[in-house]
Structure 1
Amino acid sequence: MSWSVGQVSGFAGVTVRTLHYYDRSGLLSPSERSPAGYRLYSAGDLTRLQQILFYRELGFPLEEIATILADPQANALDHLLARRQVLTEQITRLQKLVEVAERAIEVQTTGVELTPEQRFEAFGDVVFDLSYATDAHLKWGDREGHQESLARAATHTKEDWRQLMAEAAVWRARLLAAFDQGLPADHQEALDLAEEHRQHITRWFTPCPPEMHCRIADDYEADARAFALVVPPAEQRPGLAPYLRAAIGANARHLAEEPAGPEHVKEAP
């Protein structure tokens, strides 16, 4: 059985132009012809094409591929070992670039330069997962609150970060205590904690009405990376994320039942 240039291009994922180039360079020439004189690829030609594509995927230049394939007795192992070394060096270089990019993203997100020591001092065990930051930006990027939150974060000084994280640590200790004591999610202490969390977001990042707070809480239960921003993994307990989500939902319902007016807005200490 044989195949035309167009057929090979379709199922091999190679452009007709590339196949013609391989033909002109002598790397891969169709070995058969149709009754009408059209050049056709045999099964052996396809095997050779698979070898070419394999080496191309590894980054071999065409000249080196031709050398490897020119002698059926040639041992490709030396070429593959050399290519592995090149790829390993490229991976190392790219990993360094990734680290630089992550650092740049982190600086843009927090708005401050921090040494590792300063970062631990400010954030403790709280980890900012860049993959979550990216997903959150894709999910919420067109929302005004998300944009304002990033803009506000960029203006925070190192001292601001230390203060807000200190507040969060005190709040977190109270949350863990309430959960460990078995207080219901609609207990007054749990409602107070939920409201203080909402006010914390408003004070440091963006106005956070109850409905927005509930959406944020949904992420806490659905995505471990989001909840790790609130409670470090080392301090988490099974069921804690759903508990906080339930408390935030109960607080939102409680606020909806309260009469409107500044005297009913609870401020966090």
Structure 2
Amino acid sequence: MGYTVGQVSALAGVTVRTLHHYDTAGLLRPRQRSSAGYRRYDDADLARLQQILFYRELGFSLDDIADLLADQQADVLEHLRARQRKLAEEIARLQRLAEAAQRAAEIQATGISLTPLERFEVFGEIAFDLSYATDAQLRWQDSQGYQEAMARAAAHTKEDWAQLMAESTAWREELLSAFDDGEPADGKRTMDIAEGHRLHLSRWFMPCPPRMHQRIADDFVTDPRAFALVVPPSQQRPGLAGYLGEAVRANACRRTTAGTPTTPSTAYEGE
């Protein structure tokens, strides 16, 4: 008796309309008909349909599939390899599009009002990880300090960002030099570098008391995405994030002893 169109549709997960189209196109004509003239598919038809669906899943056109199935001498392996190459190219293209979309989303998430070209000119290797920006927003979105930092960041001009990044570059060079020279994390030179970072944040983003600075440095140690905001991966050294964290803690202790208040004026600490 064979299988009806409805039964094949249910078995293969395709619509009845698709099966009718395959029949009209000569791609899959059932071998049998009922006494009333209805299509009946046998096991060989189902096997052919399986091949068709396999090639369709790989993106082959119906004409290409018809040629492959009609030519018993066709080099199926070569066709599959050619299709694989095209799929790899398409995947690479989509990956580039995804990265471009992510960069655009990052710009929106950080509130930085620069064109992509200006952003590249200013930031160079420093990249804002969208997932980190999203996490930060979820953690601190209700805090006055976070809102102030984002508002000030959004208000910075290209010139502001260029000056800010020049300061960051000079600071990073000092940090790397101290680390490479073997300076102790709690030594005066390294603590002064940590203090420079704290003042930099206060100058450009929001008031950053020592206690808040410690919490920020803790993120540098525990989250590579955060540390990449101050030291790009190409310049990082093993142990550098921990070294900076120790320097920030030592500096906070030093400033507390010297009488500098350590309680932040806002809740921008994740508490």
TM-score, scaled to structure 2: 0.62
Contact 2:8–2:41 under 8 Å retained in 1: yes
| Structure 1 residue 57 displacement after superposition | 3.0
CA separation in 2, counterparts of 1:244 and 1:201?
15
In the other structure, the counterpart of 1:128 is: 126
Structure 1 position 134, deviation (Å): 1.2
- In structure 2, do the counterparts of structure 1 residues 56 and 205 end up closer, same or farther at CA, with 3 Å as the change threshold? farther
Cα distance between partner residues in 1 of 2:136 and 2:92: 33
Deviates more, 1:147-156 or 1:72-81: 72-81
SS of the residue corresponding to residue 68 of structure 2 reads helix
Point out the more displaced range, 67-76 or 236-245: 67-76
Aligned length: 241
Match of 1:112 in 2: 114
Deviates more, 1:66-75 or 1:154-163: 66-75
Q: 1:139 to 1:71 in 2, by over 3 A?
A: same
Instruction: Name stretches of at least 5 consecutive residues in structure 2 with no aligned partner.
Output: 1-6, 32-39, 263-271
For 1:199, give the aligned amino acid: L
Deviations 1:69-97 (A, max 9, x none): 35544444676577568657756764664
Output the CA distance in 1 between the equivalents of 2:235 and 2:85: 43
Distance 1:202 1:43, change over 3 A: farther
Residue matched to 2:166: 166
Q: 1:139 to 1:115 in 2, by over 3 A?
A: closer
Partners of 1:58 and 1:78 in 2: how far apart? 14
With over 3 angstroms needed to count, the CA separation of the structure-2 counterparts of 1:28 and 1:202, relative to structure 1, is farther
- Is the 1:220–1:245 contact (alpha carbons within 8 Å) kept by the matching residues of 2? yes
SS at match of 1:186: coil
Determine helix, strand or coil for the equivalent of 1:153: helix
The answer to whether residue 52 in structure 2 is matched with residue 69 in structure 1 is no
Report % sequence identity: 48
State the 1:243 CA deviation. 0.2
C-alpha separation between the residues in 2 aligned to 1:245 and 1:21?
A: 65
Residue 134 of structure 2 aligns to which amino acid in structure 1? L
Deviation at 1:28, TM superposition (A): 6.9
Whether the aligned pair in 2 keeps the contact of 1:141 and 1:147 (CA below 8 Å) is: no
- 8 Å CA contact retained: 2:209, 2:261: no
Give, in whole Å, the separation in 2 of the partners of 1:237 and 1:205: 27
Q: Deviations over 1:13-58 (max 9, x none)?
A: xxx4x26555444567999xxxxxxx99969946852x44432333
Cα deviation code 1:143-197 (max 9, x no counterpart) = 2355654443232212212211222233223323432343322233333322321
What SS does the corresponding residue of 2:164 show, helix, strand or coil?
Answer: helix
Distance 1:66 1:212, change over 3 A: farther
Picking from 133, 139, 143, the partner of 2:135 is 139
- Equivalent residues of 1:30, 1:45 under 8 A apart: no
- Indicate the SS of the match to 1:141: helix
Q: Is the 8 A contact 1:227 1:241 kept in 2?
A: yes
1:94-105 counterparts in 2 under 5 A?
A: 94=94, 97-98=97-98, 101=101, 104-105=104-105
Tell me whether 148-157 or 135-144 shows the greater mean CA deviation: 148-157
Residues 48, 136 of structure 1: CA spacing in aligned structure 2 closer, same or farther, 3 A cutoff? same
Bigger RCO of structures 1 and 2 (CA < 8 A, at least 6 apart): 2
Root mean square deviation, CA, Å: 4.6
Does structure 2 conserve the Cα–Cα contact (< 8 Å) formed by 1:55 and 1:65?
yes
**Separation in 1, partners of 2:41, 2:259:** 82
- Judged with a 3 Å threshold, the aligned counterparts in structure 2 of structure 1 residues 29 and 155 are, in CA distance, closer, same or farther, namely farther
Q: Structure 1 stretches of 5 or more lacking a match?
A: 10-15, 32-38, 263-269
1:246 partnered with 2:246 = yes
Aligned pairs (5 A) from 1:200-215:
200-210=200-210, 212-215=212-215
Shift, 1:136, TM fit: 0.6
